[in-house]
Amino acid sequence: MSTPAVPDRKPMTLHRLRDMHAKGEKITMLTAYDATFARLVDDAGVDTILVGDSLGMLVQGHSSTVPVSIEDMVYHTRCVARGNRTAWVVGDLPFGSYQESREQALRSSVALMQAGAHMVKLEGGGWTAETVHFLTERGIPVCAHLGLTPQSVHALGGYRIQGRDEAGAQTLRKHAKELADAGAAMMVLELMPSAVARDVQADNPGVMTIGIGAGQGTAGQVLVLHDMLHVTRGKLPRFVRNFMAEGGSVEDAVRRYVAAVKDGSFPDEAVHAY
């Protein structure tokens, strides 16, 4: 049975997202890289669209996100912005576009914002807190990204769960607190034990944590659109659920994802968490 269509809604704002978080309503996020899918996921009721540098693998055919350029991200952000009507758009700062200096991060962020992003996302903790503070002081909303950070996959030794031991968990919590204090409004927590993600959210109640392979204790969830539609080739991570198998169309699958996140049935701690 199809889920009902989402009624017309006003454009999402940071204030509305924070209000949802304060009231305990789960925030939904999916990736999109073009105008057609941006319009589809927006119409299906997704709160936030991530123009992810995962497009490097899914659209461009690379083996990682590392080759993606800021020019690539600007192009795809423009495409998404044209198709989107109401969702909050987060644009990824790709590898090499913010590591050099705070000023480089500002230039890259301005390019994404001018292309249609409402917020930028950057990976890692520690040194990034200073960059986050520099950007937020200048009116650029920032989403941080901790845990598995794909741009650093070579340094991390592959796609591995982060924070499994006490030292790793404490480092993640420390970095999250620093990023929150620097002004990060949102934080993607990827591939970490559920208990660690819950601690990060509890430590930083004003930050909207968005989980992917981080259990139910976050303020919301994100998946790669291609993964949850089960069109990605190869073995998928255990935190992915095939919503296409449950729906009669792509749009219905996205609506089911939104409903499952909102009602707490996804992710299932016994199936999708660590």
Instruction: From residue 92, give the alpha-carbon distance in Å to each of 24, 144, 262, 267.
Output: 26, 10, 24, 24
Q: Is 25 exposed, middle or buried (0-12, 13-18, 19+ CB in 10 A)?
A: middle
- Sorted by sequence, the CB contacts under 8 Å of residue 270 that are 6+ apart come out as none
Nearest to 258 by CA among 47, 39, 38, 89: 47
Question: Known catalytic residues?
Answer: 190
Contact present, 143 and 186 (Cβ < 8 Å): yes
